Copies of this chain bind each other. A is one copy, B any other.
Amino acid sequence: MVSFGLVLMTATGIAQQPARIVSPEVTADRRVTFRLLAPQAREILLSGEFMPGSKPFEKDANGLWTVTIGPLEPEIYHYNVSIDGVRTIDPNNPDVKTGSTPSTLSSILEVRGAQPAFYDAQTAEHGEVRSLRYTSKSLGSERRLTVYLPPEYDRDPQARYPVLYLLHGANADENAWHRLGRVNLILDNLRPTGRAKPFIVVMPFGYGVPPNLPAQPGENTAKFGRDLIEDVIPLIESRFRTIADRDHRALVGLSMGGGEALTIGLNHLELFSHVGGFSAAVGPAAAFSKTYASLIADGKTSNQKLRLLWVGCGKEDGLFDASKNFSEFLTQHHVRHTFHESSGAHTWMVWRRYLNEIAPLLFQSGQ
C-alpha cells in the first residue's frame, strides 16, 4: 500500500519524500515498482543492472512518478534515477552503494527467489568481519582494511589459517567485498559443505594513489604493491593466526584490483601461490611481456610455484577482450592457468559468483 497524504517537511522547508512511499517494491511475481514524489520535475528516468538503457517514470496527477519493470531474476542489482538530467540515487531507498568516488553511488535492489541464494545468510554460524586502521609506512598515511575470520577462528586458539588477500575495483573501497560482495556470507555458507578450506580474507584499500589524484601509468599498482607487501602482510601475520608462507597466501582482485593482483602476485611468486583476476584491468597486451617478464622467463618454474592462476571475465564486459588477450599470452608462454569465460558484464553479480567458484579451489593442496 502506498500513501502519500502526509508530506513531511524538514527543518529547512524542503519537502522530503513522504514516509510511506515504498520504492523499490518487489511483488511476488518479482516485478519491481519504483516510485518518486516530484511534482515539479519534468523528466525522471530509471537505469540499472537489470536492463540496458533507461526507462522513463510516468507522472500522475499528484506528482507521483512510477515505473514498473520485470519480472527479474533473483539477484542483487544496482540502479540510479535521473531527475531532470541529474543522475542520483532513489531517495526512497535507504540501501545505497557507496565507495571512494561519486561514480559509485547507486541504490541497491535485492530480488529474492524462493530459496536463499549462495550470498544470503543460510547458516547460524558466522565468521566475524573486522575493520582495522593501520599506519602504512610505505605510503606515509593511515589506512583502513577489512578482515573476515572464518566461523571456527575463535574455537581453537592454536589453529592457524591461510590468507586470501582480496582486492576491490576502481571507485570502491575496503568495505566493498563485504558490503557488496557478501564475502562473509558466501564463505560462511561454504563452510558446512566442506567444499572450501577455512581461510582468512584480508581486504585492504586498493588505491596506492588516492582516487581523486592523477597517477602515472603503473604508479597506482606500484605504490599499492609496496603497501601490501611491506605493511599489510606483516600487520596481518603479526595480528592474526596465519600460516605465513607462500603456499598459504592467495592474491585475487576484481577490475582495477584484478590488474593489481595479477601484476603484484605474478611478480612475487615467492610470496603468493594462488593468484586470480576477476574482470581484470590488465592493461594493453603490448605491455604484457614487460610487466610479466619474470613469470615467463622460466615458465616451468612458474608453473611449479603457481598452485592456481585463475582469470575470469564476463562476455558482456568491456574488459573481456583484455582478459582473453591475457589468457592467450599466458598460453603462448606455457603458463598453466584457468580462463573462465562466463556470461555477465562488469558487475558485482559476476564477482560474487566468481568468489563462490574459486573459494573451493584455494589452499586445497597446501599443508
Contact = CB atoms under 8 A, between A and B. Distances in A.
Nearest to A101: B94
A256 to B, nearest CB: 15
Contacts of A133: 121, 126
B103 A89 contact: no
A94 B87 contact: no
Q: How many copies does the complex hold?
A: 2
A87 B239 CA distance: 45
Nearest to A100: B94
B103 A19 contact: yes
A131 B132 contact: no
Given A38-B85, A89-B88, A104-B94, A129 B131 contact: yes
Given A16-B103, A121-B142, A87 B91 contact: yes
Interface in A137-186: 142, 154, 178
A8 B178 CA distance: 28
Contact of A131 (B98, B104, B128): B128
Nearest to A318: B11
A96 B47 CA distance: 20
A93 B212 CA distance: 11
Given A11-B52, A121-B133, A94 B105 contact: yes
Interface residues of A, number: 62
Contacts of A92: 102
Interface stretch (A66-74, A76-84, A319-327): A76-84
Contacts of A297: none
Contact of A85 (B41, B80, B102, B126): B41
B52 A84 contact: no
A277 to B, nearest CB: 22
A215 interface: no
A2 interface: no
A290 B152 CA distance: 46
A86 B91 contact: yes
Contacts of A98: 94-96, 98
A135 B124 contact: yes
Contacts of A91: 86-88, 102, 105
A366 interface: no
A126 B121 contact: no
B96 A96 contact: yes
Interface string A1-19: 0000000101111111101
Given A53-B12, A84-B42, A131-B129, A94 B89 contact: no
A58 to B, nearest CB: 16
A113 interface: no
Interface in A23-54: 36-43, 45, 47-48, 52-54
A299 interface: no
5 contacts: A13-B54, A36-B86, A40-B42, A86-B91, A98-B98
Given A17-B87, A40-B43, 17 more contacts: A11-B52, A12-B52, A13-B47, A14-B45, A14-B54, A19-B101, A40-B42, A83-B83, A83-B88, A87-B91, A91-B105, A93-B102, A94-B101, A98-B98, A121-B133, A128-B130, A130-B131
